[in-house]
Chain A
């Protein structure tokens, strides 16, 4: 294998992602300069005992500075009471129906239910939109235009505005069934509509990442358009887009909090009710911690997938 990364590009004009990654400076010969160990960027870089000592000292210093700012600020005591009062945090977490406030710990289940439902719907709807946008048949022209308008619209309008428009607007229409749903259902609908616009673009990028020659190979074997898509193109496309897809889902998990404005008692709404009835903001801290507990594992999982993918491509390119 050549060590001149420039020579990999343009030799045959193919867009091999591994080659591109290598040419972009992610090659093994570059890895050392970023403090990696050939297994990609890591939090703790290799380099033996000395490096461990240095990173430990550095971590302690940074923590000490942060703690000092936190504890020595003039309003530190009031701040800590307002946001980090253990008693209030516990009260907000378990809630107390007699005093009129909801359990933030219970309310987070509504967020979880909302994003799980929305994720399933988004995966389906956005795939349909992406396939419509990728279609080439003249018959599909009006649908392509509609899909494009849809994506432009929902990507461009603030999510909160869509929440209000659907959550308050649709009930006002007084239609049967459609206007009599709970704010949770409207919330799921809004999240699905809005996120499908983003995720359809992710799908589209994935579909484009599969080389046209794969389509030719599949069709040349007599596979139908559908079979080629189902067995050859989509599996490869989806494998390529899992990291960006999970990234969108991380942000979806947080955005379930916006549905609270419709009166659904999700975690942030429950925390707000607690805060305004007790005049203590520790409930928000509880909500923040709960959201972090949900999103951080998914974020780390996404990192791992990206890393695994990078290694696989490198391994492929080394052969």
Chain B
């Protein structure tokens, strides 16, 4: 493969580079040409109505969904090239879902150590020590022997984030991680994300929490109908959106009392 072909991404070493990404489910085109680049340590928030393609974009970045067209580079590697081992890619890119998806038949500790042991080949002792360390850092040390159904939603979601972090990913994708939570539990999860952002984690966060996006994001992208309509620093995008569709969306959010 010669330079300038599939192996090289357009410019510099980006954490994530997406070019002309299309994704269809049957006749339904969910992503209609996404271009996005994310610098290392950058925090991007994706905002937009339900069905705008935020979740699908994240799932494509993690190779959970086969894409219809376009290119994705993660950490300089073209992950849409033929012969890419999706498992290796996913080990470097953590994703956390709206619905936690903890493994209900395992304790918190086993949830967190499973992938490091079975996918990275870490020894159980090593993985357990690392997991305890992470759980302790995020205030979950006393929950390590509990089963997920004994935890509150906020605790479950924090465990899900810790589970992803245990793989020591270089990029974290977060798909509306607070949407399924009771309002009083949202803060504990957002605080954890703030901490990760402060620690320099590269993150792409799909969220409906505009206040959080404003605080934490380096850049906010507004999606509608499978396209990035507008992007920019939160101060700019939230206060003086240029595109009429962005304005309409933000007005609805304000009217709903969500900002």
Interface residues of A (CB under 8 A from B): 14, 213-214, 216-224, 227, 231-232, 235-236, 239, 316, 319
Contacts and interface: CB of A to CB of B under 8 A. Distances in A.
B105 A222 contact: no
B167 A222 contact: yes
A221 to B, nearest CB: 4
Contacts of A214: 101, 103
Given A231-B114, A236-B104, A221 B167 contact: yes
Contact of B99 (A213, A224, A227, A239): A213
B64 interface: yes
Given A227-B119, A231-B114, A231-B118, A220 B104 contact: no
Contacts of B115: 218, 221-223
B88 interface: yes
Contacts of B64: 216, 219-220
A42 B225 CA distance: 55
A221 B86 CA distance: 11
Given A220-B62, A223-B87, A213 B101 contact: yes
Contacts of B222: none
A165 B224 CA distance: 65
B103 to A, nearest CB: 6
Interface in B97-122: 97, 99, 101-105, 114-115, 118-120
Contacts of A316: 149
Interface string B69-113: 000000000000000001110110011010101111100000000
Interface of B: 62, 64, 86-88, 90-91, 94-95, 97, 99, 101-105, 114-115, 118-120, 149-150, 160, 163-164, 167
Indicate the member of A213, A216, A316 with the most B CB atoms within 10 Å. Answer: A216
B156 to A, nearest CB: 11
24 contacts: A14-B99, A216-B101, A217-B102, A217-B103, A217-B160, A219-B64, A220-B64, A220-B95, A221-B91, A221-B94, A221-B114, A221-B119, A221-B163, A221-B164, A222-B87, A222-B90, A222-B91, A223-B118, A223-B119, A224-B119, A227-B118, A231-B118, A232-B114, A239-B105
B119 A222 contact: yes
Given A219-B64, A319-B149, 10 more contacts: A217-B101, A220-B62, A221-B115, A221-B167, A222-B119, A224-B119, A227-B119, A232-B114, A235-B105, A239-B105
B17 to A, nearest CB: 20
B99 A232 contact: no
Contacts of A236: 103-105
A224 B115 CA distance: 10
A222 B88 contact: yes
Contacts of B95: 220
Contacts of B167: 221-222
A236 to B, nearest CB: 5
Contacts of B104: 236
Contacts of A220: 62, 64, 90, 94-95, 164
A316 to B, nearest CB: 5
A217 B97 contact: yes
A221 B90 contact: yes
A235 B106 CA distance: 10
A138 to B, nearest CB: 14
A214 to B, nearest CB: 6
Nearest to A319: B149
A14 B114 CA distance: 25
A125 B93 CA distance: 37
A37 B193 CA distance: 46
Indicate the member of B119, B160, B167 with the most A CB atoms within 10 Å. Answer: B119
Contacts of A14: 99
Contacts of B99: 14, 213
Nearest to B173: A220
Nearest to A235: B105
A100 to B, nearest CB: 55
Indicate the member of B88, B94, B104 with the most A CB atoms within 10 Å. Answer: B104
Considering the complex of A and B, which 5 residue pairs feature the smallest CB-CB distances, nearest first? A222-B91, A217-B101, A221-B115, A222-B90, A222-B119
A218 B97 CA distance: 12
A232 B103 contact: yes
B254 to A, nearest CB: 26
Contacts of B118: 223, 227, 231
Nearest to A211: B101
A233 to B, nearest CB: 10
B180 to A, nearest CB: 8
Contacts of B97: 213, 216-217
A218 to B, nearest CB: 8
Indicate the member of A214, A222, A316 with the most B CB atoms within 10 Å. Answer: A222
Contacts of B91: 221-222
B153 to A, nearest CB: 10
A125 B153 CA distance: 40
Indicate the member of B114, B118, B163, B164 with the most A CB atoms within 10 Å. Answer: B118
Nearest to A220: B95
A222 to B, nearest CB: 4
B133 to A, nearest CB: 18
Nearest to B118: A227
Contacts of B86: 219
A227 B90 CA distance: 14
